[in-house]
C-alpha cells in the first residue's frame, strides 16, 4: 500500500489529490511503526509519529485552502497560470508556500520538525526502518517539490529556503548522531543530515537554474536510499543473529535495541554482514569510491560552479559535516573489526542466506554506482530536467 500511494503521489495533477495520496502513504506507514504492539516504546513512537503527521496534514490543508481561495483551482498548471496573471504579489501565495513547507517538512524530517523520526526508526522492525528512511522521507520531499512548483512564480526564492533548511539539517543531524549508542537511532539521526544534502543540491538548482545541482540532489536521494536501506537491513540481520540466538522466545524476541557495544568482534562471526554494513556507513560518510562520496561530490561541484559566496559557505559546512559524520560511522567499523568478540557475538547463530542475498545486491549497487555514477543518469537527468521545467518562470 505504501508503494502504491507513492506512485499515486507522483502522478497526481492537482494539489488535493497530491494531499490524498500523501495521507494514504502516511496512513499505511503508521501500523508499520507500531509493529511490536506489546512494546510501550513502539506505541509511544507510533503516537508521536501519528500526532506530528496529523498536525502537518492540517498545515497542508490550510495551504491548499489558501491556494484555492487565491487561484480558484487546485490544478498545478492552473495555479501557476493564476499566479502569473496576478496583478500584485499576494501574501496568500507566500503563506500557502510556508504552510506546505511546514506540513510536508514533518514527513521529510526538516529541522526542527524531525523529532518523530529517531523514535519511529528505532522502534520499527529493521525492514520497515529501511523503507521509512530510504523511501518515505524521499517521497515526502517529492511531494513538497510538486506543491511548491505550483507556486514557482511567487515573489520568494524557494531554492534559497531549501538551502537554509538543508544547512540546519546537516548540522543538527550530524551533531545529534554523535552521541547515540543505539545503532538504529544513530542511523536515523544520520538520515536527517542526509536530507540536508539532498535539499541543498535541489536548492542550488532552483536558485541558479542549472541542471547540475538538480542531478546531484536526485543522485544523492538515490544513493542515500541504497546506503541507508543497506545499513538498516544489515543492522536487522545482526539483531536476528545476536538476539534471537539467546532463545528469547515470545513477545519482543529480537526487539531489544542493538547497541554499538554489541558489535564488538562481529566481523569474525558475521564477516559478510560486517562488510556490507561497513560499506554502507563508510559510503554514508562520503568515502571514495562508494556512491555516497560521488553524490556528495556532485553536490559540491554543482554549488561551486555558481561562484556564489553564500552557497560556497554552505558547501564548506557540508564538507565539514561529512568529515564530522565519520566520528560516529568509524567507531561502528572499528568495533566490528578491531575488537575481540563479545559474549553476544560468540553465542550468535548463523544468518540465513535469504537474509544475506538482498544485502549483497545493495552492497554491489553502492560500489558500482560509486565507480560508475553515469549509470544513474537515465534517472537523474530526466528528473533534473522535469524539476527545472516545473519551476521555470
For the cut 70, the answer to whether the pLDDT of residue 200 exceeds it is yes
* Closest to 198 in 3D by CA, of 173, 179, 178: 173
Instruction: Check whether residue 18 and residue 163 sit in a common domain.
Output: no
CB 227 within 8 A of CB 364: no
Is 182 found in the same domain as 103? no
Asked if 257 and 182 touch (Cβ cutoff 8 Å), the reply is: yes
For residues 371 and 239, state if they share a domain: yes
Predicted pLDDT at 252: 42
Are residue 164 and residue 88 in the same domain, yes or no?
A: no
pLDDT beyond 80 at 183:
yes
* pLDDT classification of 294: cutoffs 50, 70, 90: very high
Residues 138 and 182 in one domain: no
Least confident of 103-117, 124-138, 279-293: 124-138
Q: Which of residues 113, 134, 156 is at a domain's end?
A: 156
Query: Mind listing the pLDDT tens digit for each residue in 239-255?
Result: 888 875 444 444 444 46
How many domains is the chain partitioned into structurally? 2
Does one domain contain both 318 and 184? yes
Is residue 151 located within the same domain as residue 162? no
Indicate the pTM of the whole model: 0.90
Mean of pLDDT values over 135-153: 86
Dihedral through CA 126, CA 128, CA 129, CA 132, nearest 10?
Answer: 170
What are 3-37's pLDDT values in tens digits? Answer: 788 888 888 888 989 998 888 888 888 888 888 87
Query: Same domain for 115 and 39?
Result: yes
Helices (H), the chain: 2-11, 15-33, 40-71, 76-85, 91-108, 116-123, 126-131, 137-149, 158-177, 183-208, 211-243, 266-269, 271-284, 291-304, 309-338, 343-346, 353-371, 377-390
User: Residue 87: which domain range?
Assistant: 1-156
User: Are 151 and 192 in the same domain?
Assistant: no
- Which pLDDT band, with edges at 50, 70 and 90, does 350 fall under? confident
Asked whether residue 135 falls in the same domain as residue 198, the answer is no
Looking at residue 154, its pLDDT comes to 60
Same domain for 182 and 141: no
As a whole number, mean pLDDT of residues 313-325 equals 92
Output the nine-digit C-alpha cell for 138. 524521499
Is 70 exceeded by the pLDDT of residue 202?
A: yes
Same domain, 248 and 152: no
Task: Compute the distance between CA of residue 376 and CA of residue 392 in angstroms, rounded to an integer.
Answer: 24
- Is pLDDT at 358 greater than 80 in this prediction? yes
Mean pLDDT of 190-216: 90
Query: What pLDDT sits at residue 69?
Result: 84
Q: What is the pLDDT of residue 251?
A: 40
- Residue finishing a domain among 156, 175, 197: 156
pLDDT of 340 over the 60 cut: yes
Determine whether 257 is exposed, middle or buried from the number of CB atoms within 10 Å of its CB (0-12, 13-18, 19+): middle
Among 156, 176, 204, identify where a domain stops: 156
pLDDT at residue 95, as a whole number: 86
Amino acid at each position: 500500500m505504501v508503494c502504491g500511494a507513492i506512485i499515486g503521489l507522483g502522478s497526481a495533477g492537482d494539489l488535493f489529490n497530491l494531499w490524498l495520496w500523501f495521507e494514504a502513504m502516511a496512513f499505511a506507514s503508521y501500523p508499520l511503526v507500531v509493529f511490536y504492539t506489546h512494546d510501550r516504546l513502539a506505541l509511544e513512537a507510533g503516537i508521536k509519529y501519528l500526532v506530528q503527521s496529523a498536525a502537518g496534514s492540517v498545515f497542508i490543508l490550510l495551504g491548499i485552502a489558501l491556494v484555492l481561495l487565491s487561484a480558484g483551482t487546485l490544478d498545478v498548471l492552473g495555479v501557476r497560470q493564476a499566479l502569473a496573471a496576478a496583478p500584485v504579489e499576494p501574501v496568500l501565495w507566500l503563506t500557502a508556500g510556508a504552510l506546505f513547507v511546514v506540513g510536508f517538512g514533518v514527513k521529510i524530517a526538516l529541522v526542527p520538525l524531525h523529532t518523530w523520526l529517531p523514535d519511529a526508526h528505532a522502534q520499527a522492525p529493521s525492514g520497515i526502518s529501511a523503507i521509512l528512511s530510504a523511501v518515505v522521507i524521499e517521497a515526502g520531499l517529492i511531494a513538497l517539490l510538486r506543491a511548491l512548483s505550483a507556486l514557482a512564480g511567487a515573489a520568494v526564492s524557494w531554492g534559497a529556503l531549501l538551502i537554509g533548511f538543508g544547512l540546519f539539517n546537516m548540522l543538527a543531524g550530524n551533531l545529534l548522531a554523535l552521541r547515540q549508542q543505539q545503532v538504529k537511532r544513530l542511523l536515523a539521526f544520520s538520515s536527517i543530515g542526509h536530507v540536508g544534502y539532498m535539499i541543498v543540491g535541489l536548492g542550488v538548482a532552483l536558485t541558479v537554474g542549472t541542471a547540475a545541482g538538480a542531478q546531484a540532489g536526485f543522485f544523492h536521494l538515490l544513493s542515500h536510499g541504497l546506503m541507508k536501506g543497506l545499513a538498516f537491513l544489515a543492522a536487522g540481520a545482526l539483531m536476528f543473529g545476536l538476539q534471537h540466538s539467546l532463545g528469547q522466545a515470545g513477545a519482543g524476541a529480537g526487539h531489544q535495541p542493538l547497541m554499538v557495544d554489541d558489535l564488538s568482534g562481529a566481523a569474525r562471526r558475521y564477516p559478510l554482514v560486517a562488510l556490507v554494513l561497513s560499506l554502507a556507513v563508510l559510503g554514508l560518510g562520503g568515502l571514495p569510491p562508494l556512491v555516497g562520496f560521488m553524490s556528495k561530490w556532485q553536490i559540491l561541484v554543482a554549488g561551486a560552479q555558481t561562484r556564489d559566496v553564500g552557497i560556497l559557505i554552505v558547501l564548506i559546512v557540508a564538507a565539514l559535516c561529512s568529515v564530522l559524520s565519520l566520528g560516529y560511522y568509524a567507531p561502528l567499523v572499528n568495533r566490528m573489526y578491531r575488537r575481540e568478540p563479545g559474549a553476544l557475538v560468540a553465542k550468535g547463530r548463523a544468518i540465513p542466506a535469504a537474509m544475506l542475498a538482498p544485502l549483497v545486491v545493495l552492497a554491489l549497487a553502492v560500489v558500482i554506482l560509486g565507480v560508475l555514477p553515469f549509470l544513474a543518469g537515465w534517472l537523474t537527468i530526466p528528473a533534473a530536467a522535469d524539476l527545472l521545467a516545473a519551476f521555470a518562470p
